Amino acid sequence: MTHLLEILPVDPRDPLAILPDLEEALAGQRALLPVPADDPARANLLRNTQGVGEPIGGDIALVVSTSGSTGTPKGAQLTAANLISSADAAHQFLGGAGQWLLAMPASYIAGLQVLVRSLVAGVEPEFVDLSRGFVVADFAARARSIAATGDRCYTSLTPMQLAKATSTLEGIDALRLFSAVLVGGAATNPALLASVQKLRINVVTTYGSSETSGGCVYNGLPIAGAKVRIADGRIHLGGPMIAHGYRNFPGHEAFAEPGWFATSDAGSLIDAHLNVSGRLDNVIDSGGLKLHPEVLENFMLRIGGVVSACVVGVADDRLGQRICAAYTGSAPLPDVMDAFEDLPRWQVPKEVKVVPALPMLGPGKVDRAAVTELFS
């Protein structure tokens, strides 16, 4: 049996409108490509690269795009079994099903999984209208609404949303209402994690991607059914939630072994906990020495007053790439430069800029190419 891949516009003002479509896809009746209704350029890009209107295997429920910063977005082919196994494992880790608040774009996997978990739990989620951005007052009002049910309640946020919510008392009170707050999509500032712990907010850090039906490693440990291994320094993820390859890149090497996905991330297992070093394709080669930019970013995030940071390699005639860094926050530039004195000299950025905001690409992901342009 085959389907024809259908485009599914997702309106941030009413993301729950796609629930009936999603339910039909999970029942094996349709194959859908979620696209953002408020971003015609990306919607057209996905339409033109993912084979909309063309045949697709009858077991594929969703084709979910990746949010890479360069090139053509890949389309992870997810079956109902992939999506539901992930939802079941998430609820098992969290201690049971409950009410969900959707505060992420439902055209990406993190938001879609909030809807899938709600369908699995048999509840209709609340949602935050993201057409005006993430408004803490709106988030808090919705949080109070689902907390009033008396059930366990959950939400999923990016690190930036978590930071914004903890910047106000109303946001902190709202976050405390949740049985758990899943945070993923990017590395979370260690200082922020320490802060929310002191505030008695139960944050669960997640690691995963469209290719793994969303997060499959919670607080460094694989959820039920998920598997983690390290091969030549690269993180490989396995289990029933692994996608059936890419729609537009058949035979891709990342899915060379059935049931496994070879990520683009470097990492290690320490006492069975996964430690993610950074993306392999982000490695900066400066004067023959290699640096994972995420290592330097994590160092910067521990500097008082630094809210977010991005480190990039910019083409350099002498070094090959020179290390540059941009950050947001109240930390004065001289203080940041002073903190770099604790680093090996070659790791100290050659140029540092404080910016009002880092350019973003997808939920919680910094657009590294755009940051590089700041130094070109």
Task: Give the sign of the dihedral formed by CA 140, CA 11, CA 83, CA 73.
Answer: negative
What are the structure tokens assigned to 312, written together?
């990039």
Q: Encode pLDDT of 284-303 as tens digits.
A: 999 889 899 999 999 999 99
Greater pLDDT, 363 or 59:
59
Mean pLDDT computed over every residue of the chain: 94
Give the C-alpha separation, 263 to 74, whole Å.
Answer: 13
Q: Which residue do the tokens 């907390």 mark?
A: 147
Q: Encode pLDDT of 315-335 as tens digits.
A: 998 899 999 999 999 999 999
In a 3-state reduction of DSSP, which class is residue 153? strand
φ, ψ of residue 82 to 5 degrees: the values are -60, -55
φ, ψ of residue 254 to 5 degrees: the values are -65, -20
Specify the pTM: 0.88
Torsion of CA 313, 315, 318, 322, to 10 degrees: -20
The whole-number average pLDDT for the span 228-248 is 96
Q: Encode pLDDT of 187-204 as tens digits.
A: 888 888 999 999 999 999
Q: Encode pLDDT of 250-271 as tens digits.
A: 999 999 999 999 999 999 999 9
> Checking DSSP bridges between strand 31-36 and strand 2-10, what pairing results, if any?
parallel
Greater pLDDT, 55 or 288:
55
Q: How many CB atoms are located within 10 Å of the residue 315 CB? A: 11
Phi-psi region of 298 (alpha: psi -120 to 50; beta: other; left: phi over 0): alpha
pLDDT class of 70 with cuts at 50, 70, 90: low
Which domains are present in the chain?
2-275 (3.40.50.12780), 283-373 (3.30.300.30)
Q: Encode pLDDT of 119-156 as tens digits.
A: 999 999 999 999 999 999 999 999 999 999 999 999 99
Q: Using the 8-state DSSP alphabet, how is residue 349 labeled? A: -
What is the per-residue pLDDT for 68?
57
Greater pLDDT, 308 or 363:
308
Task: Give which of 38, 201, 10 is closest to 115, Cα–Cα.
Answer: 10
The whole-number average pLDDT for the span 2-16 is 97
* Cβ contact 196:162 at 8 Å: yes
